[in-house]
Amino acid sequence: SQTIHQWPATLVQPVGSPLSLECTVEGTSNPNLYWYRQAAGRGLQLLFYSVGIGQISSEVPQNLSASRPQDRQFILSSKKLLLSDSGFYLCAWSGDNNYGYTFGSGTRLTVV
């Protein structure tokens, strides 16, 4: 069966520090991968998506970047965090038909 792992679960980082969040998928090949950010208790904003290794599409201009160095690995990064980067970050994967996402358990990022 397919599984998705996302870590860390929580992170407190000072303003100006770098960020690296990692997401890996097991049990499937060539998944579509996504990074979303969620405001407290509300809807999800798509940040990046990838349909293959090295292929990254950005949805929102921001202080973040994404990379996909391997087929089932998706990384969200920042060189210098801002206070506004705080939030709940979710990684997800889907198959080609896009009939359902499977989400990771999320990372709660607090920038202080």
Partner 1 sequence: TQLLEQSPQFLSIQEGENLTVYCNSSSVFSSLQWYRQEPGEGPVLLVTVVTGGEVKKLKRLTFQFGDARKDSSLHITAAQPGDTGLYLCAGGFNDYKLSFGAGTTVTVRA
Q: Which of residues 51-70 bind partner 1 (CB under 8 A)?
A: 51, 59
The closest of 16, 37, 33 to 75, measured between CA atoms, is 33
Binding mask 93-112 for partner 1 (x = CB under 8 A): -x---xxxxxxxxx-x----
For partner 1, give the closer residue by CB, 9 or 112.
9
Structure tokens at 55: 């292929």
Structure tokens at 59: 């949805």
To partner 1, the closest distance from the beta carbon of 79 in angstroms equals 26
Binding mask 1-40 for partner 1 (x = CB under 8 A): -----x-------------------------x-x-x----
To partner 1, the closest distance from the beta carbon of 63 in angstroms equals 20
* Residue ranges in contact with partner 1 by CB under 8 A: 6, 32, 34, 36, 41-46, 49, 51, 59, 90, 92, 94, 98-106, 108
